[in-house]
Every structure is written in structure tokens, then in C-alpha cells.
Amino acid sequence: MDILGLLIPVSLFLGAVGLGAFWWMLKKGQFDDPDGDAHRILRDDYDDQPKS
Amino acid sequence: MTATFEHVRPSACPACNAAPAAEHMAELPKDARLMLSLPGIHCAGCISGVEKVLAAVPGVKEARVNLTLRRASVQAGPEVSAEALCTALERAGYEAHELDPGVLATTTADRQGRDLLMRLAVAFFAMMNVMLLSVAVWSGAEGVTRDMMHWISAAIAIPAVIFSGRPFYVSAWSALRAQRLNMDVPITLAIVLAVGTSLYETIHSGHHAYFDAAIALCTFLLAGRYLDHRTRASARSAAQELAALEVPRALRLSAAGEETVSVAELRVGDIVRVKPGGRIPVDGRVTAGQSEIDRSLMTGESLPAFAGAGSVVSAGEVNLTGPLTVEVTAAGQDTALHRIADLVAVAEAGRGNYTSLADQAAKLYAPGVHILSAVAAVGWWLYTQDLRIALNIAAAVLIITCPCALGLAVPAVTTAASGRLFRKGLLIKDGTALERLAEADTVVFDKTGTLTNGAPTPMALDHLREDAARVALALAQGSSHPLAESLAKALATRGLRPAHVTGLNEVPGYGVEGTWQGQAVRLGRAAWLGAEAPEDTATFLQIGDTAPLAITFADTLREGATDVVAALQAQGKRVILISGDTTAAVTRFAQTVGITEVIAEALPHEKAALVADLTAEGAKVLMVGDGLNDTAALAAAHVSISPASALDAARTASDMVLMGRSLAPIADAIRTSVSARKRIRENFTIATVYNVLAVPLAVAGLCSPLIAALAMSTSSITVSLNALRLK
């Protein structure tokens, strides 16, 4: 059971990484146009003006 | 070295230094950010197409389509106008409207949405971790291990609950301060009690801790709250979008010349110029100029009226042929337009007492839960004389009964339904509009501009001889009057070429004249050519001294009008047509669309009165209209829809707006709203069943944290899945 002392912090850390990633995506506006992004990836023409 | 020196050498004349700098200043991009509404786009091809068309317009630096909001934002030089972009897009086959970016600026609603989403993410993260830790306890961890799990859970859950539950605490506190009870009071009480007793139990190495339940409660409720916010925000942005569609400005004539001012700045006695095709911004009297004015939005009349010096015009009418100079007799609050807005306010006050299904549920629910948990706690305290057990029971009851499923039941369904309707081109401006639409049993249609396009097309062109038709075409091309334009278009599509007419001259307010093969030819109003004015909209053609030929016009049916009327009648609804137009025109029109109940020559307040009468008879009226004369009726009706082409006031007064040109989504909307109401009811039933099953366990003290977690999750998930079944 000693391994718990390691596993619990590790799982919490990984979860926190996910939370941080979500926060970053939210800040970058990646949820502003979900429909458009879903379609854009399938277009033939190269998107040379990706949203910064 | 010399080269470098030369390069930086200051010039002898300061102007030479200043000039390039000034040039640079001028080149600095003073870019305008333009926003366009694109109601018709739906696929990857549309994104590429629109962006290509926009990028091809000279001066456009960047164009980006947002498919979710159906908008395009364009970075362009100051020389690019939104109108030019709209015409370019319309030529390429995309419907486009200008939006006022100032009104649409990312507002507090946007920030609120992100804030909620962040809280939801934190709550979800904490819930998942605490749930995992709880699995160890549920599967039988004992002693020190269990305590450790509880302590770690507490360390995660307590900060998470404090952060993510804030919207509930704030709302509950403000309700309590106003001495009311709302849904958030039992929620807050449950969270506080659950966390408090769990912490107490953990400190004393107790068996049960409800940290997972407290944080799961937060997560599910925040999910519901977020969905609700999304629906509201999109409704609000729809309303903003509509407000942004029309930018009220007027051309004021002053000693200094013409200046463009906001309508709000106009005062009585100011002189304004109204260009042909422009909307009259104020009530006033014509001082100079001759023209025809289209009163259809104000009165529903489809026949344009003559306006010359001394004529009285009111705000909202459209000037057709010649420029008019108007002296302001009433502006702002005193205009006819605003008086109708007052009618709207009165009518809306009557509708304000609608209670949504969710409110009805909350009214029953909030006191019930408090009484139940208080009774359970008191009962256990009397029975065991142990306050710790009594508090545990109270917390368990509050957690089990907490409205996770109830909080999700309505938002999940309305989100699904409004998303579906948005894809079909219908914007829902009001949260309860769907529920009200489901109740509608009587549909009242306005005629001009709603069931019709509001644009006339010539009828029976066949009886015109070819040379007469060619003369008519030549004359019609010389005018921008809507009748002339539509006539020219109809004749041109028949493959006719214009005759050689010289000396074309438009007489504003009357018609066009010219010379053809030495004969005077004229196209215009009946009175001008000495013909008898007919009942229908008509223009007359006179060649030389022959008798004037009548060319009659009829309004064309809006796309999907007959289908919608048929579909509504098939659904068993009573359909009524009401219009301010002449009886003959309305009856004939009613026959073509298949409506039997007709009321013609109705004044604005009569329309509102009709709706009120129908309501008094117990009917739930759906009003569909576009004009200013409809606004009071739109606001008085149980629920109302207006097309995007409607006047600002009409769109503001109605609950839903059709974004496209077709009326077809109305029938779909009714079908969707009926099934949405059914789903909401089902969801309430599901939530109640879970509560009825779990509450006895909680009161009996048998509700372990595992049962609480299971009941909460399964009920929330079932409710969400049921909402997604919406067709």
C-alpha cells in the first residue's frame, strides 16, 4: 500500500496538468468557433491565416 | 561608412524630413473592423467561399468566418464599406447583413460564460479525483487508509467547492436578503452542510464523508447553469445582432451644409433630407421635393402614396423616388413610432406573468426540501438524542433531494431545441418562448412583408404588344422606383431589349417620361396620365395620345408561405390573416394561400385588440408579423415571430426571429417546441422518480455516500440523455 503515497500525488498532478491545459485552451479562444474549426480541418485549401 | 553617413544625414530642409514621416503616418493602418451576419452559411465550402469572396474585395486585409455564430469579422482599410462587402457576398450567393461591431463588442456575458466554464472545469477535475479516492473507501478501506483518503478528498474538495460553487452562494445570499427562497438556497445549504459534517466526521475518523457528493453536486449544477447561460447568451447576442442590423442616422441640413447625425440628436424644427430609398427618421412635414412614399410598414398598405410639399410623413415610412426635405414636427419620444412602442410596453406588461415550467417546479421544490430535511433531522434527534447523527441525516436528505436533475432538466432541453432551431434559421430571443410556442393554438399572420415579400411583381404582361413592352422597359430602366425596377426586371427576363427612347426624365412622385419615334411616352401614376386609379397596385403606360395601358402588380408570396399555412392547418391550428391593406387585395391573397379567416383594413391598435380578444376567449395566440403596425400585436400575443426583414421595433417585440427568407421554419419550430415541452416534463418525472426512490433511504439513515453518488450521477445522466433525444 506504500505505493499509494506515490500514486495519489502522481494522479493529482496529471489531473492538474489536464486542468491547466483546459484553462490555456479557454484563454486562447479555442472554444470560440467549434463548428467552424470542425469544418476547417476538412477543407482542401491550405489555411494560411490560422487564428492566432 | 560614407553610405551609412549619407543614410542618416539630416536634410537641410525640415519639411523634407517631415514629409516621409507624414506619409508613413498616413500609411499606418487605421483599419476598421467590420462585422457581417451570414445567416445562410453551414459548411466548409461556405467558409472557404465567403473568405475568398471577402479577401478578393480590394482593401480587405483579413477575413475570418465564425461558423458557430454565423458571422464574419473583416479587417479592412477605411475605404471599404460593409455595404460593398454585403453586395459582393450576395453576388456570390451568400445572404449577408451589416452588423454594428460596437453593439456586438465582447461583453460581460462573454466573460461570465468563460468564468462559469472555468468553475465547471475545476469542479469536474476535483470531482473525478475525489470520486477515485472514494472508490477506495467504498470498496472497504479501513482505519488509517480511510482517514487518509478522507483527508486528501477534503484537501481537494474544500477549495474546489469554495471556488466553483460561488455562483450558487451569491444567488442564495441575495435571495435570502430579499427574504425569498430560490433553488440556490437548498443547494447552498446542502453543500455547506455536506462539507461541514464530512469535515467533522473526518476529524473524528468517522465512516462516512460526503466530499464526493458535495463536489459532484457542484459539477452537475454548474453544467446545467452553463447550458442555461449559453442559451441565454446566444439569445442575448441574437437580440444584439438585431439591434446592430439597423443603425439609425439622419441627414440634417444646417447652415453649415449637410451632416449625418444620430436620430436621437434631432430636435423639432430641424430640417432633414431623406434620399430616395431611405427610411424617414422622424415625424414631419415635407417642405420641398416630390416623391412617393411606401407606408406598408406603418399601415400595411401595399400601394405607395404621393408625397409633395405640405404632406405629412411619419417615422418608419420609406421614401421611394425623389429626394424629400422634411421639417421635423416630432422626434424621438413623440414620434408615431415611439407611441407604438408605448403600446408595446403596455402589451408586454400583460405577458410578464407567465411562469415557466422550471419556475413552477422550483416553487414546489424549495420549501418542500427544507421541510423534509428539517423533519428528518428533528425526528432522528428526538429518537437518538444524538445531534451528530441528526445533522448527518439532514445533510444526506439535502444531498439526495438536491436538484441536480432538476437543474439540468430544462437547460439541457432548451439548449438542444434552440440549437436545432438555430440551424434551421430561427433565433430564439426569450428563454420561455419555446414553452409558450408549444401552447399556441391560434396563428395570426400579417400579410404585407410577412406572408409576402413586400415587393410587387408585374402581372399579365402578355397583353402588352412587343413594341409597347420595349418602350415600357426603356422607361422603367430610367427610374429607381420599386415598381419600375421590378417591371424592368420582369421584362428583361422575357428577353426583350429596350426601345430607343430619348430625353428620359424622371418626374419625382409621378413617373418617367421620354420621346420614342417622335411621340411622347410616359410611364407612371394613374392621376398623372389621366387614367382612373384602380384598386390594385398599378402603373400606367401611355404612348403618344393613345389611352393609357394599365400594368398591374401583385405582391409575391414569401418562400414557404403556402406550405406553412397548410402545415399549421394540418396541425389543427386556427389560422387568421390580418392586414391593413384593402379588403379586395387581402381576400384575393387569402384565397391563394388558403386562409379562410380574414380581417382587412385593420389599424395597429385594432390588431392588438384582436389578439387581446382572442386571448380573452382563451386562445393562445402566435402572432407572425413584421411591420410597425404589428408591434403592439406581436407584444400582446402569447408568443410571436418576425422575419429578419422586419422593422427593428417589430423584431424587438417578438420572441423569435426568422433569419432566412423562408417561412418554413415556423412549422418546424412548433413541432420542436411541442416535443421539447414533452421532454421537459419527462425529465421532471425522471428526476422525481429518483428522488422518491432515494429519499426514504436518506430519511431512514441508510444512504451511504455510495448511494448518494450513484443516485446523483445516474439521474443527471439519464436526464441529459433524454434531452438529447429531442427531434
Read off the pLDDT of each residue in B124-139 and give the average, rounded to a whole number: 87
The candidate with the shortest Cα–Cα distance to B445, out of B344, B567, B343, B575, is B575
| Confidence (pLDDT) at B120 | 92
Res. B163 pLDDT band, cuts 50 70 90? very high
Q: Are B377 and B369 in contact (CB under 8 A)?
A: no
Residues of B with catalytic function: 446
Residues in chain B with CB shorter than 8 Å from the CB of A26 are 114, 117-118, 121
Q: Does A42 touch chain B (CB under 8 A)?
A: yes
What are the cell numbers at B626?
A: 413584421
Q: Looking at per-residue confidence, does A49 or B601 come out higher?
A: B601
Work out the percent of chain B whose per-residue pLDDT is above 70.
84
B128 vs A15, A32, A51: nearest CB: A15
- Is the pLDDT reported for residue B123 higher than 90? yes
- Is the pLDDT reported for residue B102 higher than 60? no
What are the cell numbers at B598?
A: 380574414
* Distance from C-alpha of B534 to C-alpha of B341, rounded to nearest angstrom: 34
Q: Are B343 and B633 in contact (CB under 8 A)?
A: no
Q: What is the sign of the dihedral through the CA atoms of B427, B429, B434 and B440?
A: negative
The candidate with the shortest Cα–Cα distance to A28, out of A6, A12, A50, is A50
| Confidence (pLDDT) at B15 | 41
Q: What is the sign of the dihedral through the CA atoms of B310, B316, B319 and B325?
A: positive
Q: Are B405 and B690 in contact (CB under 8 A)?
A: yes
Q: Are B198 and B216 in contact (CB under 8 A)?
A: no
Res. B122 pLDDT band, cuts 50 70 90? very high
CB contact under 8 A, A19 and B117: no
Distance of CA B77 to the CA centre of its chain: 30
Q: Are B191 and B74 in contact (CB under 8 A)?
A: no
Which residues, listed in sequence order, are joined to residue B576 by a DSSP beta bridge? B444, B597
Q: Does A9 touch chain B (CB under 8 A)?
A: no
Res. B12 pLDDT band, cuts 50 70 90? very low
| Confidence (pLDDT) at B105 | 52
| Confidence (pLDDT) at B667 | 87
- Is the pLDDT reported for residue B20 higher than 50? no
Q: Write the pLDDT tens digit of every residue in B58-71.
A: 888 888 888 877 78
CATH topology of domain B247-334: 2.70.150
Size of interface A-B (CB pairs under 8 A): 54
| Confidence (pLDDT) at B472 | 84
- Is the pLDDT reported for residue B422 higher than 80? no
| Confidence (pLDDT) at A48 | 61
Residues in CB range of B221: below 8 A, 6 or more apart: B168, B187, B402, B403, B404, B407
- Helix B143-164 / helix B184-203 crossing angle, nearest 10 deg: 150
Work out the percent of chain B whose per-residue pLDDT is above 90.
3
Q: Are B473 and B319 in contact (CB under 8 A)?
A: no
- Is the pLDDT reported for residue B160 higher than 90? yes
Residues in CB range of B158: below 8 A, 6 or more apart: B195, B199, B211
Q: How far is CA B645 from CA B190, B278, B364, in A?
A: 50, 15, 42
- Is the pLDDT reported for residue B616 higher than 80? yes
Residues in chain A with CB shorter than 8 Å from the CB of B43 are 39
Secondary structure (3-state) at B574: strand
Q: How far is CA B678 from CA B81, B120, B415, B685, in A?
A: 47, 28, 15, 11
* Distance from C-alpha of B447 to C-alpha of B633, rounded to nearest angstrom: 14
CB contact under 8 A, B125 and A33: no
| Confidence (pLDDT) at B154 | 92
For every residue of B582-620, DSSP letters joined together read -HHHHHHHHHHHT--EEE-S--HHHHHHHHHHHHHTT--
- Identify the architecture of domain B430-454+560-669 in CATH: 3-Layer(aba) Sandwich (3.40)
CA distance B657 to chain A (A): 22
Q: Are B659 and B39 in contact (CB under 8 A)?
A: yes
Task: Choose the weakest-confidence range: A14-23, B191-200, B707-716.
Answer: B707-716
Residues in CB range of B598: below 8 A, 6 or more apart: B576, B577, B578, B586, B587, B590
Res. B453 pLDDT band, cuts 50 70 90? confident
Q: Are B99 and B227 in contact (CB under 8 A)?
A: no
Buried b (16+ CB within 10 A) or exposed e, B263-299: beebeeebbbbbebebbbbbbbebeebbbbbbbbbbb
For every residue of B677-699, DSSP letters joined together read HHHHHHHHHHHHHHHHHHHHHHH
| Confidence (pLDDT) at B249 | 66
B621 φ, ψ (degrees, to nearest 5): -95, 130
Q: Write the pLDDT tens digit of every residue in A14-44.
A: 888 988 998 898 888 787 777 788 888 877 7
Q: Looking at per-residue confidence, does B437 or B532 come out higher?
A: B437
- Is the pLDDT reported for residue B2 higher than 70? no
The candidate with the shortest Cα–Cα distance to B446, out of B328, B581, B278, B547, is B581
Task: Choose the weakest-confidence range: B58-72, B266-280, B325-339, B557-571.
Answer: B325-339
| Confidence (pLDDT) at B21 | 39
Residues in chain A with CB shorter than 8 Å from the CB of B132 are 11
* Distance from C-alpha of B195 to C-alpha of B395, rounded to nearest angstrom: 9
Which residues, listed in sequence order, are joined to residue B614 by a DSSP beta bridge? none
Chain A residue with CA closest to B69: the answer is A33
* Distance from C-alpha of A19 to C-alpha of B660, rounded to nearest angstrom: 40
Residues in CB range of B670: below 8 A, 6 or more apart: B437, B438, B440, B568, B571, B622
CB contact under 8 A, A26 and B114: yes
Read off the pLDDT of each residue in B465-475 and give the average, rounded to a whole number: 82
B125 vs A15, A32, A34: nearest CB: A15
Total H helices, total E strands in chain A: 2, 0
Read off the pLDDT of each residue in B276-290 and give the average, rounded to a whole number: 79
Prediction pTM value: 0.68
Res. B104 pLDDT band, cuts 50 70 90? low
Q: Are A9 and B24 in contact (CB under 8 A)?
A: no
Residues in chain B with CB shorter than 8 Å from the CB of A30 are none
- Is the pLDDT reported for residue B327 higher than 50? yes
CB contact under 8 A, B121 and A31: no
Read off the pLDDT of each residue in B153-178 and give the average, rounded to a whole number: 90
CB contact under 8 A, B68 and A33: yes
Which residues, listed in sequence order, are joined to residue B258 by a DSSP beta bridge? B253
The candidate with the shortest Cα–Cα distance to B446, out of B566, B336, B575, B320, is B575
| Confidence (pLDDT) at B242 | 52
> Where along chain B do its domains lie?
22-99, 247-334, 430-454+560-669, 456-556
What is the residue type of B308? G
- Identify the architecture of domain B456-556 in CATH: 3-Layer(aba) Sandwich (3.40)
A11 vs B69, B132, B145: nearest CB: B132
CB contact under 8 A, B125 and A18: yes
CB contact under 8 A, A49 and B62: yes
CATH topology of domain B22-99: Alpha-Beta Plaits (3.30.70)
What are the cell numbers at B453?
A: 415579400
The beta-strand segments (E) located in B486-564 are: 502-507, 511-516, 519-524, 537-543, 549-557
Residues in chain A with CB shorter than 8 Å from the CB of B64 are 49, 51
Residues in CB range of B342: below 8 A, 6 or more apart: none
Q: Does A23 touch chain B (CB under 8 A)?
A: yes
Chain B residue with CA closest to A18: the answer is B125
B118 vs A26, A32, A44: nearest CB: A26
Residues in chain A with CB shorter than 8 Å from the CB of B68 are 32-36
Sheet holding B249-254, edge to edge: B257-262, B249-254, B271-274, B324-330, B283-288, B312-313
* Distance from C-alpha of B117 to C-alpha of B219, rounded to nearest angstrom: 11
Read off the pLDDT of each residue in B510-519 and give the average, rounded to a whole number: 84
Q: Write the pLDDT tens digit of every residue in B364-396.
A: 777 788 888 888 889 988 988 888 888 888 888
What is the residue type of B138? W
Q: Write the pLDDT tens digit of every residue in B666-697.
A: 888 888 888 988 988 888 888 888 888 888 88
Q: Are B447 and B577 in contact (CB under 8 A)?
A: yes
Q: Mutate one of B41, B46, B54, B66 to test the A interface: name it (highest A CB count within 10 A).
A: B66
ipTM above 0.90, yes or no: no
Distance of CA B502 to the CA centre of its chain: 49
Res. B237 pLDDT band, cuts 50 70 90? low
| Confidence (pLDDT) at A51 | 55
Residues in chain B with CB shorter than 8 Å from the CB of A49 are 62, 64
Sheet holding B291-294, edge to edge: B305-307, B291-294, B318-319
CA distance B61 to chain A (A): 11
Q: Does A19 touch chain B (CB under 8 A)?
A: yes
What are the cell numbers at B178?
A: 430579499
| Confidence (pLDDT) at B235 | 63
